[in-house]
Amino acid sequence: MIYLILLQAAPAATNDNPLSQYSSFFLFAAMGLIAYFFMIRPQRKKAKEQTKFTEELKKGAEVVTIGGAHGRVAEVEGDTVVLEIERGGRIRFSKSAISMESTRALKK
């Protein structure tokens, strides 16, 4: 019974218009451009700013880590930073653990 209904269905319409073939390509290309300009490009810019920020860290700068620890930079050694949390209390962090956004918000 179901097979008879499927066999009686109208055949799919063919579209001989060549523009319809390219329209789907242009649609996907436009979606790709939108994704690039609204998602990928801003993320790359933010990562570049974060890298520049961590490379410019200097002794004595007040910073905030990603985990929320506030401290002052006591030493900078390659990819690590030693923060003085309290008087005499020092903790070693990776430079990538320093939050640019939180540090800038602290200074405002």
Mind listing the pLDDT tens digit for each residue in 36-47?
999 999 999 999
Mind listing the pLDDT tens digit for each residue in 67-99?
999 999 999 998 999 999 988 899 999 999 999
Among residues 48, 53, 31, 43, the alpha carbon closest in space to that of 98 is found at: 53
Q: How far is CA 21 from CA 24, 25, 27, in A?
A: 6, 7, 11
User: Domain holding 44: CATH number?
Assistant: 2.30.30
Flag whether 68 is in a domain.
yes
The pTM of the full predicted model, rounded to 2 decimals, is: 0.66
Flag whether 9 is in a domain.
no
Place of tokens 């290309």: 29
Flag whether 63 is in a domain.
yes
Flag whether 89 is in a domain.
yes
Task: Determine the structural domain holding residue 102 and report its residue range.
Answer: 22-107
Flag whether 3 is in a domain.
no
- Report how many domains make up the chain: 1
